[in-house]
Structure 1
């Protein structure tokens, strides 16, 4: 079966590049191919394109362009931010607070920092993935320098109350870093209003090209990081290397398009999600996770009781859905997010993340539900 006959419902993993984005990028591969650091007209033209894109990205998330550093993606941005901030502030303290449902890009970087002498508190979450703000406050101590919590969970869609968390942290003199990757382009993200000190996000989650992302440092709050990559003064010396001008141009264009259609797309995704969940609940033993929480409009995390989850994805060979994060989806392991929420291995394995996008139609939802019903019924019979 060809790819175009399959139904793609894994937009939280990646999105197709929008045709208008591709069109904007193309000249920077051919006639406008200059290096943005070159001191001649080709370089000046490329540099101007980068700065236009920086403004486009900044406008979508309401921050000052000067605070944005282009990277190869959110994972690189996470490494630059965590290592850079923690090393810069090591004399002030060595304690970081996060939670157990963060993305592996954060958790594995924090593990590396632990090996370098930093202390990390991994906060528990409740059955819906929420962090207890009272417990969070109690975790802060004199050596705490950073709280690191994502804005929207990539597996469940749960939205954390980041503004309340930044207000709490700042009252204690602690900075806040947030992975806003899944939220940008799906819901309004206002970095100025949220008060976030450090943010990371990526282009390919909002119909831009892969291989480009951004690191935001709140200059108003005097946030700076120590560099640990060397070889040039590109991107304020934080991320040296020749800039990916076509990718950055595409990132900017994707942000501009997302800003124009944010409200319309939000409502469309919400309608699709409501229809999907209503139909899934007709399957016996189905549970929609975080159903009563504030979530991303496009994300459904669903569990099927009494189903052999190790075979579930293989039975859904006409659908592109996932068991969890795309970074670990090829492994038949229970989601660390659901495990942290109290799920046993069996139910966690029998869970799916379904995420819709701008190309998803109601017909896709209806076909997907029929496919899921068939698979679940077969696996219930097999498991008896």
Structure 2
């Protein structure tokens, strides 16, 4: 009777001794046994040539002819070694796939980390080293301080950057326009307000867009494709419900906007709301802008049927997309495919043509 059987029966405990290398006899109960070296294993079958695991099965290490103790923590399940297996048959234990633990997955409620360059999206974006981690507003400020006379351009052949986007506006001039507009917006609205930008593509639109970023407000560009094409403004105002409309055309083409409900401010490179740009620019004071704060809405005009306002992209989202587009430019991606990448991320053409030149013109 073995030790375990003796315990159950209440009788005396007896230890079974075996010589090293002696095979287990079929039917022998291996509850408590002492091998030839005096090592006692109280949990499973015994073999004098090596140590045992806690399940009663021996693990063979190929190549050295020895048996080794692997231990329960490194094993999920082991195929049992049948007593009737012919002598000399190689035993191949089966290991289960390791289970994911809290330490591996980041916790019970952990989520996979984003791997996009520049950090993540919307608000939780992880900044990267260098200019790629900067928000568009602070990036323009840095460019204006370090290279005030340089002109941000798009590095595409056949279409000069001065013809679109910032339209030949230097970093210092673009920053001056943005500061003036941000100073004016700061006296009229609170951060986070929605501002509709009614401009044709050019420096006025670029200055107004960066002015919204400087002021911590969400810009909704309504790009006028034809001179005087302001017939889409009433639909946009009704659909977007902006707190203010910035425009450079109101002096020539009056906008059909109820001024009792929505403020309208004329802003260009000379005056903002009737005040000189240079004076307002000196009055601007930086405001803290969070990476997750709304920065831009894409508006789609669907004609008489109405329009669609996309969900807001935050400042961190814009930084991420610009980093990705700048990387595409460095790899030689052509203009058409850069525009396609921007459209996939939800950026309309007029916006990425404003932001990308500032990003790639270091």
Q: Give the structure-2-normalised TM-score.
A: 0.26
Q: Give the structure-1-normalised TM-score.
A: 0.24
Task: Flag the structure with more relative contact order, 1 or 2, with Cα contacts below 8 A and sequence separation at least 6.
Answer: 1
Task: Tell me which structure has the larger Cα radius of gyration.
Answer: 2
